[in-house]
Amino acid sequence: MATHANADRPVGNLWLRRQVLSVYKGHKWAFIEEHIHDVLGKQSRDAGDFEVALQHFAAMLQCSHSPPYWQTHYLKQFLDTVAAATKAKVGATYVESSGGIG
């Protein structure tokens, strides 16, 4: 069972928030879902899990209740994450093809 103490650890924090999302998802509580996707997207991106981050940011692009300013912000967040994922992939491909670092 998740405890509040788990929220202090990055992995526990992500797990706990994903559990919360599963409770709210589909209940038409758009602002809560939007907030949870925002937090999970940022935490996933910061942890280097770009695939999961992009899933959360893509969900936010569908938030039609958000004003244009926020929609623009969400699009920028999504595109910045695509760029970071591409850069990380290119870097990893370079390291693999050059036989490693050093």
Instruction: Kindly report, residue by residue over 33-63, the tens digit of the pLDDT.
Output: 888 889 989 999 999 999 989 999 999 988 8
CATH 3.40.50 correct for 4-97:
no
Nearest alpha-carbon partner for 20 in 42, 35, 5: 35
Phi, psi torsion values for 70, nearest 5 degrees: -70, -35
pLDDT, position 99 = 55
What is the pTM (predicted TM-score) of this model? 0.65
Q: Does 3 score more than 70 pLDDT? A: no
Instruction: Kindly report, residue by residue over 75-99, the tens digit of the pLDDT.
Output: 999 999 999 999 988 655 544 554 5
β strands within 14-97, DSSP E: none
Higher pLDDT, 26 or 12: 26
pLDDT, position 2 = 42
- Alpha-carbon distance values, 39 to 15, 20, 92, 96 (Å): 12, 12, 26, 32
Q: What is the chain's mean pLDDT, rounded?
A: 76
